[in-house]
Structure formats: structure tokens, C-alpha cells
Amino acid sequence: MAQVIVLRKGASVMKPLFLNEDELTAVMTAAAALEIRNRGPFLQAVATALRAQGEQSLGPGLVYRTIASVQRQFRDPPDLTGSVAKYG
């Protein structure tokens, strides 16, 4: 069964993007790994990037590559420099 991601851009609604259940799960899992403030912009960026590829090109490989590429832009790893080690 196809899933739909509809994102609002301003007052208008962008064209729906149809993903299967596995693809949608991958997108949402990747979003969950980000800070809450980055999740909306991440989903928007993934949808925009996938839409730019064209719906006929959509497939698991393209979706996963797009997620990896876009997630790097929004990932904010913790700064562990200067932290105290638990056992040392």
C-alpha cells in the first residue's frame, strides 16, 4: 500500500509524494534520529530532493541514498571534546 507525504509550503500544498511502507518507514526513522527542531526541515528537504528526481525514478535505492545525503546536512552530533570519561 502506498503512503503519501504532503508538505505545506507557505499557504500552498505541494504535490503529494507516494512512498511505499518501507520507504516511508526509512524516512521517518531517519527523521527520528535528528533533533526535534531539525525534523520538519529534514522531511521537507527529503521530499524536495525526491520530487526533483521525478516520480518514475523513485525506488528503495534512491530513497535511501537521498535520506543519507540529506541527513548529513541536518545531523548535529554532540561535542565530546573536553568531556570527562566515566571511568577515567
- How confident is the model over 20-71, as pLDDT tens digits? 999 999 999 999 999 999 999 999 999 999 999 887 888 889 999 999 999 9
**One-letter amino acid of 77:** P
Residue 18 resides in a domain:
yes
Radius of gyration of the chain (CA): 16
Residue 11 resides in a domain:
yes
Residue 47 resides in a domain:
yes
| Residues with Cβ within 8 Å of residue 32, at least 6 apart in sequence | 39
Residue 58 resides in a domain:
yes
Residue 86 resides in a domain:
no
| Degrees, nearest 5: CA angle 50-33-70 | 30
Q: What is the pLDDT of residue 57?
A: 83
Give the count of domains, the chain: 1
Residue 85 resides in a domain:
no
Residue 80 resides in a domain:
no
Task: Print the domain residue range for 10.
Answer: 2-74
Q: What is the pLDDT of residue 54?
A: 84
User: Which three cell numbers mark 28?
Assistant: 521517518
Q: What is the pLDDT of residue 85?
A: 66
